[in-house]
Structure 1
Amino acid sequence: MGSDLVAGRHEPNDREAIDRHAGRRLAHEGVGERLARITRVEDCAALFSLQTYSLEVREPTFTLVPDVVGLQEPVARATLLSATLAVGLVTESQSLSVPLGAVISQSPAAGQSVLEGSEVALEISTGPVLVPNVVSTEESQARAAVLAAELTVGAVRYVEDLVVAEGLVVSQSPVAGAAVLDGEPVALAISLGVPKVAVPDLIGLPLSFGEDSLVATNLFSGAVSSEYRFDVPAGLIVSTTPAPGTIVPIESTVDLVISLGPRVIAVPDVSGLSELEAGDLIVAASLSPVLVGEGSAT
């Protein structure tokens, strides 16, 4: 026997129907139907077959779901409980706009009419991910920092830079401190160091032309020296240091050697001198004595 029975006489009429199998009574009120939960009665011994009984029908109580979106989770929970509702499934999601710990969404939505004690599911924000600052760090360190922030390394390009040393990060995108979601790619630009150029081939050019060529290549003329060259006309460039084709940083200096042309030497007069005296005089004149006949030397 159930405890929901109330003793008393009750004369059934055609406005009521008792579904004993399902344990429900439908009370026809003219404007609608109400459902009431009752306790099913087992009467195996037929003890109540000659008795009448009445059932108490209780009106279900509804309440409006409050708006808890944007509230911090503890406040949202308290708000639901004060509205005689229960907190249902709670999930977490990232959000760029909803602060950490606040409610992103709720179900049922605010303003819906539900039975008291119904559950309201909440979606709580875990906030965004802040992009770490990796500028001026080594490429390997930058990659590790990006991955540690649960982001991914995006496009990586290598650029020449006059300021940032080779191998360091010149720039990143998104910038440091930007709010993004998990897995967002971070693009990196890595320095190749100062721009480099090849030393132009200046051999055989006049000095002024050679210097102009260096300036056009973002190089500077360094020390200029000269030497006698019988195979290069005077005033033309004989050689450069570094050599033509060498890759150097821009604004490097290139030393030049200019030809003085063939060296002209006056041959000394050794007539009447002994072989030894003549040889010494010829050597002193930067010449090489050659014996062409007995008693004579040139």
Structure 2
Amino acid sequence: MTGVLGRLVYALVLAAVLVASVWISFSRFILGRSLEVPDMSRLSVEEAVTLAAARGLRVVPDAARADYDEGVAAQRIRGQVPAAGTAVKAGQTVRVFLSLGPRTIRVPDLGGSRPRTAALALERAGLAAGVVSAARADGPPGIVAQGVAPGTVTTPGTPVDVLVTRGAPEVSWVMPDLIGRDFERVRLAFEARGFRLGGVRSQTYEGAAAGTILRQFPLAGYPVTLKDTLSFVVASTEGPAS
């Protein structure tokens, strides 16, 4: 009985040793044939193919997973499967994903737009409104120049400065001294130049000929523009106008 039990134990031990030996041999066989996937980040496809071939691997670009990447130049690898450092068998295919580069935007033409309209257009395009400067110039009000030329390819969030015209510069003159001048001659001269006459009152004034200007507004020496209204008090021999 003891001999049978001993032989049974011996057989079990022998079987265990055999299984362990097979497992160790199999593991060594597998590990001996495994390869480590290299890091292909930021390589071109050609560079990745050369690197992979030297290790017995293949590279296949996955066009469906190409995407914009702010940190990786266009046509460079931004990702891979299996990941770098993974143990694989010889001949394994590594799929790589290319970068389309940073996302770019074409700057819209803002010419003629008002600042608010331009700001909305820039926001819709993914850009930012920059500094708004103003100047007087001939032509209708609106944007006449922009810091980044229309059609320029740039990155999202780029600020675009603009120059806005407020219309033609306002011309002003110095109001002359018209006291004692003939009102009709003054009126014709000013109206011919586009000025508007406002209130004209008559007032008797001893020693002044009828139609002579007694008072004026604006006063002599003050600036005057075509937007201003000129007022006069004119001498009359017939008494104040009713």
TM-score by length of 2: 0.55
Determine the C-alpha separation between the residues in 1 that align with 2:134 and 2:45: 47
Following TM superposition, by how much is the alpha carbon of 1:127 offset from its aligned partner in structure 2, in angstroms? 2.5
Could you say which residue in structure 2 is the equivalent of 1:181?
Answer: 89
Following TM superposition, by how much is the alpha carbon of 1:168 offset from its aligned partner in structure 2, in angstroms? 4.1
CA contact (8 A) 1:170 1:191 kept: yes
Could you say which residue in structure 2 is the equivalent of 1:237?
Answer: 143
The correspondence of residues 205-224 of structure 1 with structure 2, limited to 5 A, is 205-224=113-132
Following TM superposition, by how much is the alpha carbon of 1:139 offset from its aligned partner in structure 2, in angstroms? 5.0
TM-score by length of 1: 0.46
Which of 38, 47, 58 pairs up with 1:132?
38
- Matched position secondary structure for 2:41: coil
Determine the C-alpha separation between the residues in 2 that align with 1:136 and 1:249: 20
Distance 1:209 1:262, change over 3 A: same
- Matched position secondary structure for 1:194: coil
Q: Which has the higher helix share?
A: 2
Q: Which has the higher contact order (CA 8 A, sep 6+)?
A: 2
Which of 170, 178, 182 pairs up with 1:264?
170
Aligned: 1:70 with 2:23: yes
Determine the C-alpha separation between the residues in 1 that align with 2:147 and 2:27: 64
AA aligned to 2:37 is V
Cα deviation per residue 1:205-258 (whole Å; 9 max; x = unaligned)? 21012112212222112222223232232xx22222211111111111211111
Determine the C-alpha separation between the residues in 1 that align with 2:175 and 2:47: 79
Cα deviation per residue 1:89-115 (whole Å; 9 max; x = unaligned)? xxxxxxxxx53336xxxxxxxxxxxxx
Identity of aligned residues (%): 26
For the pair shown, which has the larger CA radius of gyration, 1 or 2? 1
AA aligned to 1:245 is G
Following TM superposition, by how much is the alpha carbon of 1:165 offset from its aligned partner in structure 2, in angstroms? 4.3
Please give the root-mean-square deviation of Cα atoms over the aligned residues, in Å. Answer: 2.9
Determine the C-alpha separation between the residues in 2 that align with 1:153 and 1:252: 37
CA contact (8 A) 1:135 1:170 kept: yes
Which of 78, 84, 89 pairs up with 1:170?
78
- Matched position secondary structure for 1:214: helix
CA contact (8 A) 2:132 2:163 kept: yes
Determine the C-alpha separation between the residues in 2 that align with 1:183 and 1:264: 80
Determine the C-alpha separation between the residues in 2 that align with 1:183 and 1:167: 24
AA aligned to 1:175 is A
Distance 1:269 1:140, change over 3 A: farther
Which of 33, 58, 71 pairs up with 1:152?
58
- Matched position secondary structure for 1:237: strand
AA aligned to 2:169 is R
Could you say which residue in structure 2 is the equivalent of 1:45?
Answer: none
CA contact (8 A) 2:33 2:90 kept: no
Cα deviation per residue 1:97-143 (whole Å; 9 max; x = unaligned)? x53336xxxxxxxxxxxxxxxxxxxxxx7422221112244555433
Work out the number of aligned pairs and report it. 157
Determine the C-alpha separation between the residues in 2 that align with 1:264 and 1:187: 68
Q: Which stretch of the first structure deviates more once superposed, 195-204 or 164-173?
A: 164-173
Structure 2 gaps, min length 5:
1-17, 177-242
Q: Which has the higher strand share?
A: 1
Cα deviation per residue 1:181-225 (whole Å; 9 max; x = unaligned)? 322222222333321001012222210121122122221122222
